[in-house]
Chain A
Amino acid sequence: MSVREAVLARVRANRPQGQYALPGLPKFALTQPDGLVAAFAAALAGMGGKLIIPTAAEDATEMTRRQLAGTGVVCSAVPEIAGNRDLSQVRQPRDLADVDVAVVRAVLGVAETGSVLFTESELKVNTLAYLAQHLIVLLRREAIVPGIQDAYQHPCFRTAHYAVFHTGPSATADIEGVLIHGAQGVRSLTVVLTG
C-alpha cells in the first residue's frame, strides 16, 4: 500500500462518529456609514497604508506621474505609467531587486480591511510587489467591495495561479513589539484612487 493509501485508510478508519453537516455561509451586513471609500481609507490607514484621492483638477494618472518624477528606478505594471524599467525585459524574478518604486493596478479593494488584491496578471512578475522598496497601487473606485466575504466571490481566485491580498506594507514587530514597516517586503504602500 502506498503512503497515500495508508494515510487515507487511517483517516477513514478513524473518522469521527456522528453527523457533521457543512453549514451554509450567511452574509453578514457590515456597518460602513460613511461609505466604502471612507471605510477603506480608515482601515488602510490603520494597517500602515495610505490612500490618495486625486483632486478634481488633476486625474490620478497625472498625479501619479508627477509624484514619480525624479524617483530612482520606477517599474510599472500598468500601461498608463511608463516608468524607467521595462518589465518585459525582466528574465528572472530577482532582477527586480533594485527597483525603488513599483506601480501596480489592483483587481479590487476591500473596505472592511483596507486590502487590495493582485494576481499574476496584474503583477506580471510576482516579486515586483515585494522586492521594490515602495509600492503604488492604482484602484478603481467602483472596484471596492464591502467585505472579505464579498472579495471571495471574484472569479480570479478560481483561475489565477497566484492571488494575494496586501493590507498595508510589509511589517514586523518581532523585537519588543516595535512596529517597523519594510520587514522583508515594501516599506510603504500607497493606494491611488482612480476613475
Chain B
Amino acid sequence: MNEVDLQPEDPRRKVLHPEVIGERFEGARREDGTPLVHAEGTSKPIRAKAPREPQPRGARERGNRPVDQAEAAERFIAATEHEKAHDERVWDMRQRRDRAAHALPEWEEMRTLASRIKEHALAHLDQYLEQFEAAARSNGVTVHWAADAAEHNRIVHSILDSHGAKTLIKSKSMLTDECGFRAYMKGVGIEIIETDLGERIQQLDGEEPSHVIGPAIHKTRGDVADLFARTLGSDPDDDDVHHLATVQRETTRPLILNAGAGITGCNFAIAETGTVVVCTNEGNADLSANTPPLHIASIGIEKIIPRLTDLGVFLRLLARNAIGTSMTQYTSHFRGPRAGAEMHFVIVDNGRSERLGLEEFWTSLKCIRCGACMNTCPVYRRSGGLSYGATYSGPIGLILDPTLNRRKYSSLPFSSTLNGSCTNVCPVKINIHEQIFAWRKVMAEEHRLPVLNMEMMKALGEVLAHPKLYRAAVGAADEMLKTLPHFVVDNPLNTWTNKGRTMPAVPQHTFHSWWREHRMNRQGQS
C-alpha cells in the first residue's frame, strides 16, 4: 500500500481547493492496492486540517418568517475549511456522475423514458394508487392513508402503540424529515435510532440532513469526532474516520437488535406488484425491515411507478446520477411481510395532490431524489444544504419547499443563478431552473419578494418606465463604475458584491450607444 497516493502528475490532482486535499486515500482499496471509489466515496482524499474550525450552522430558525438563506450562506462561506471541503466533495460527485452518464450511449434516451414514465404515472396517479393498494393488501400488507404530516405521525404512532413498541430503528427517508417525524416521536416518548451513518450523525447533532444522499456532507471529521465524544463518549482527539465509523457501528448494533419496530422510506412503489423499493449503501434499510417483528414503510404518493420492469430504467439512472456507480450497494424489494411479522405501508399526501394541480409546477413530482441538482449548483456547493432551512435543499428544494410553506420559503427561489445546470443533469428532465424562475414570479405577484429586492425593484420600476431616464442611468452608471474606487463599489448596499462576488468588467459602450453608432447610422436612419 502506498503511503502517498497522489503524485504531482496524477490527474486527480486537478482539484478545486488543494488546501483540503489529503496526501493519501484512507478508504477501502482493491486487492491490488488501488483506491476504490463507490458508495459516496470521494475520488480525492479530502482531509480537513487541524486546527479544527468550528462547524458553521444552518439557517437561523425564525418561526414562520421567511428563511434568510443568504445570511446562513455567508456564515458557511466564512468557514473556509468547511466551504472548500464541501465544494470539493460535492463537485466530485458531479464529476463521477458525468463519467457514469457518458459511459452509457443510451443515457439521453433513458432520461426521456424515465421522464415519460413518471409523467404518465402522475397523470394517472389515482388509478395507480388504487392498483398499488390492492396489490399490497393481497400480499398481506396493511395499508394506511395520511392526508398530511401530522396524520402520518399519528398513524405510525398508533401502529407502534398497538405492538407495544418503544424503540424504532429507522433508515433514511426524506418524507419522514418532511413530516417532522423525529421531533414528534420524541414528544410521545418513542426512541428513534437512525441507522444510516450520516443520518445518525445529524440526529445526534440535532440537525436536519443537509444533502439527500450525504446527510452529514457539510461536516468535517473534526466535527464528527467532537460530536461522538459529546454524545457517544468516544475520544475527542481521535478523528480517524475508520474509528469514528466503528464507534457508530458498535453503538448502533445493540439498538438494532433490540428495537421494537423498524421504519423505512420508499424510493419506488410499484403499482403492478405492490412492492416498495428502497436503495441504500449501508444495508441499514434491510436491517431495519428484517430484524424487528414490525416493518413500516412511509410512501409519498408520487413514488408510484406502473410496472416492475420500469425499475430497469430508474435504477440504471439513480445511482449513476447520484454518485456515479451503476447501482447502490443494496436495492431492496419489500413486497410482503416475513412469516410471523407484520408490514404496514403509510401512503402520504402532504401537499402533493395540490402540487399536482399546479400547471407550472406539477412535474417537480417526478423527482427521484438523486441529489445531482445539488451537486452541480454553484449556490448549493458554496452555501451548504442547511443554509436553506428546509427539508429539501438545493435547486429541487427551491421548487418543492414553497409548496409546503409559501411564506416561510418565499425567499428560497432567489437563491439561484438560473444557470440551468440543474435542469441539464436531472435524470427525469424536470425543468428546474424554469420552475425556480416561475416561483419568483409567483412570489412577486404575491408581494413576497425579499426586502432588498423589493426596494431595488421599486427604484428600477421608476427608471424602466422612462426609456430616456434608463439610457442616461445605464450610461452614467457604467462611467461611474470605471472610475469609482473599489471601496465605493464593493459596499454593503451593493447586493451583488456583498455576497462574495465581484462586479463584472464594464463594457466599452452601452448596447444602445453601440446600436446607434453601428446600425442606425449604417442604415441612414435616425
B16 → chain A, closest Cβ, in Å?
Answer: 14
Among B55-63, B349-357, B411-419, B475-483, the stretch that binds chain A is: B349-357
Pairwise interchain contact A179-B335, C-beta atoms closer than 8 A: no
Q: Which of B31, B35, B126 contacts A15 (CB 8 A)?
A: B126
Among A21-29, A66-74, A80-88, the stretch that binds chain B is: A21-29
B283 at the interface (CB under 8 A from A): yes
Q: Which chain B positions have C-beta within 8 A of A149? A: 309, 312-313, 316
Within 8 A of B (CB), among A1-50: 2-4, 6-8, 10-16, 18, 20-23, 25-26, 28, 43, 45-48, 50
In Å, the complex CA distance between A174 and B80 comes to: 20
Chain A 103-121 interface mask (CB, 8 Å, partner B; 1/0) = 0000000001111000010
B338 at the interface (CB under 8 A from A): yes
In Å, the complex CA distance between A180 and B432 comes to: 34
In Å, the complex CA distance between A178 and B22 comes to: 11
- Asked whether A175 and B216 contact (CB < 8 A) given A3-B147, A157-B333, A158-B273, the answer is yes
In Å, the complex CA distance between A112 and B334 comes to: 23
Pairwise interchain contact A22-B120, C-beta atoms closer than 8 A: yes
Q: How large is the interface on B (under 10, 10 to 19, 20 to 34, 35 or more residues)?
A: 35 or more
Within 8 A of A (CB), among B306-329: 306-313, 315-316, 325-329
Q: Which of A8, A22, A163, A176 contacts B220 (CB 8 A)?
A: A176
A171 at the interface (CB under 8 A from B): yes
Q: Which chain A positions have C-beta within 8 A of B301? A: 7, 11
Q: Which chain B positions have C-beta within 8 A of A163? A: 332-333, 335
Pairwise interchain contact B329-A11, C-beta atoms closer than 8 A: no
Pairwise interchain contact A184-B126, C-beta atoms closer than 8 A: no
Q: Which chain B positions have C-beta within 8 A of A160? A: 333, 335
Interface size on A, residues (CB 8 A): 75
In Å, the complex CA distance between A14 and B357 comes to: 4
In Å, the complex CA distance between A50 and B29 comes to: 12
Q: Which chain B positions have C-beta within 8 A of A181? A: 28
A61 at the interface (CB under 8 A from B): no
- Asked whether A183 and B281 contact (CB < 8 A) given A115-B331, A174-B196, the answer is yes
- Asked whether A176 and B48 contact (CB < 8 A) given A45-B30, A127-B291, the answer is yes
B15 → chain A, closest Cβ, in Å?
Answer: 12
Q: Which of A45, A164, A176, A182 contacts B332 (CB 8 A)?
A: A164
- Asked whether A25 and B310 contact (CB < 8 A) given A166-B330, A174-B197, A180-B242, the answer is yes
In Å, the complex CA distance between A23 and B221 comes to: 46
A79 at the interface (CB under 8 A from B): no
B372 at the interface (CB under 8 A from A): no
Within 8 A of B (CB), among A119-156: 120, 126-127, 129-131, 147-149, 151-153
- Asked whether A23 and B291 contact (CB < 8 A) given A8-B129, A167-B328, A177-B40, the answer is no
A185 at the interface (CB under 8 A from B): yes
A92 → chain B, closest Cβ, in Å?
Answer: 9
B195 at the interface (CB under 8 A from A): yes
- Asked whether A169 and B310 contact (CB < 8 A) given A148-B315, A184-B282, the answer is no
Q: List 16 A-B contacts (CB under 8 A).
A: A15-B125, A16-B119, A28-B110, A50-B31, A115-B327, A130-B283, A152-B308, A157-B333, A161-B335, A165-B330, A175-B219, A175-B241, A175-B244, A177-B92, A178-B221, A184-B249
Known: A173-B41, A175-B224. 18 other contacts (CB 8 A): A3-B147, A7-B129, A11-B353, A13-B357, A15-B356, A20-B119, A21-B120, A97-B257, A157-B308, A166-B330, A169-B329, A171-B28, A175-B219, A176-B42, A177-B44, A178-B221, A184-B287, A185-B284
